[in-house]
A = this chain, B = another copy of it.
Amino acid sequence: MFRPQIKVLDCTIRDGGLINNHNFDDRLVKEVYKALSAAGVDYMEIGYKNSRSLFSPEKYGKWKFCDDEDIRRVIEGVKSHTKISVMVDVGRVDMKDIKPKKDSPVDMIRVASYVKDIDKAIAMVNEFAGKGYETTINIMAISRALDNELTEALAQVEKECAAPVIYIVDSFGSLYQETTEFLVKKFKNILKSKEIGMHAHNNQQLGFSNTIEAIIHDANYMDATVYGIGRGAGNCPLELLLGFLKNPKFDIRPLLDLISNEFIPLREKIEWGYIIPYAITGMLDEHPNSAISLRNSDKKENYREFYESFMPSETE
């Protein structure tokens, strides 16, 4: 019943860090690592590898930079087969910060890229692969990609890119299962030598179902987060994904403890989940930034005015 090729990547700390400027304390990060390890999750993405020349360490927590020694401190002493992943954005990393894999606790580096930046992303991936890392490209804002440009980018990736896994990233949480099916089939059709990944946002409560849809159409790399944490509406909930997958290596129970003990209290302090302004940006295929601003204003529950702000004014 299960597909052994399926890999689950947890990005709780990385995507959740977008809510709190990557300011999770070591204790929580270690608890997450312990629970993921006990649950049999394949990868834990612990943060971004950003350049300190672009982002201030006064403003951002350590998981925006993911120094090797910070990673080592939280993973040491834990019995684990869970690999460590970090994400980099095109143009935001000092390539010289990336040591050879043999000198780093990091196993995988994922490059987040828009279609337009695919050349840069390929060059970065190839350099990371040359240093010994596992790699992926995560193509963001896929719902806004023009079909012909996406086709061209994927053909180039297939031809030139060392990464064995290419992700569909539904940044705006606007995909439905039919669009997910279309995209997975398109990716598989062009990327003959690659595995396909799915990173779904949950604006319309479709994060989990779009992930299932990707699995149905033979995507094998699945992103999820504990209790669905993530910027705005959050992500596919990891506990639901493990409940769905039949792979005997997974055990949901350490995640249930982690949610009880850590994420129920955390949700009282920072906001994510099914919140109407994020549902609105999802259904309108808009970036969630406007909804994040609304939620930080005194109009946070003024949904109609927010919705109407997207209605077209006179245009040619």
Q: Which residues of A does B touch, CB under 8 Å? A: 176-178, 202, 204-210, 212-213, 216, 227-228, 237, 239-240, 243-244, 252-253, 256-257, 259-260, 264, 273-274, 276, 279-280, 283, 301-304, 307-308
B303 near A276 with CB under 8 A, answer: no
Q: Report the copy number of this chain in the oligomer.
A: 2
**Which of B178, B212, B260, B276 makes the CB contact (< 8 A) with A239?**
B276
**Which of B260, B279, B307 makes the CB contact (< 8 A) with A304?**
B260
A177 near B244 with CB under 8 A, answer: no
CA–CA, A96 and B315, complex, Å? 60
Sample (30) of A-B pairs whose CB atoms are under 8 Å apart: A176-B209, A176-B244, A177-B209, A177-B213, A204-B208, A204-B240, A204-B243, A204-B244, A205-B205, A205-B208, A205-B237, A208-B209, A209-B209, A209-B210, A228-B274, A237-B279, A239-B276, A240-B279, A240-B283, A243-B279, A243-B280, A243-B283, A244-B283, A253-B308, A256-B276, A256-B303, A256-B304, A259-B276, A260-B301, A273-B274
CB-CB < 8 A to A205: which residues of B? 202, 205, 207-209, 237, 240
Distance of A283 from chain B, by nearest CB (Å): 4
CA–CA, A274 and B275, complex, Å? 12
CA–CA, A280 and B256, complex, Å? 10
CA–CA, A246 and B243, complex, Å? 33
CB-CB < 8 A to A302: which residues of B? 260
CB-CB < 8 A to A301: which residues of B? 260, 264
Distance of A143 from chain B, by nearest CB (Å): 14
Residue of B nearest to A210 (CB): B209
CB-CB < 8 A to A177: which residues of B? 177, 209, 212-213, 216
CB-CB < 8 A to A206: which residues of B? 208-209
New contact pairs (7) apart from A204-B243, A228-B274, A264-B301, CB-CB < 8 Å: A205-B240, A206-B209, A252-B307, A253-B307, A256-B276, A256-B280, A259-B303
CB-CB < 8 A to A213: which residues of B? 177
Residue of B nearest to A311 (CB): B253
CB-CB < 8 A to A239: which residues of B? 276, 279
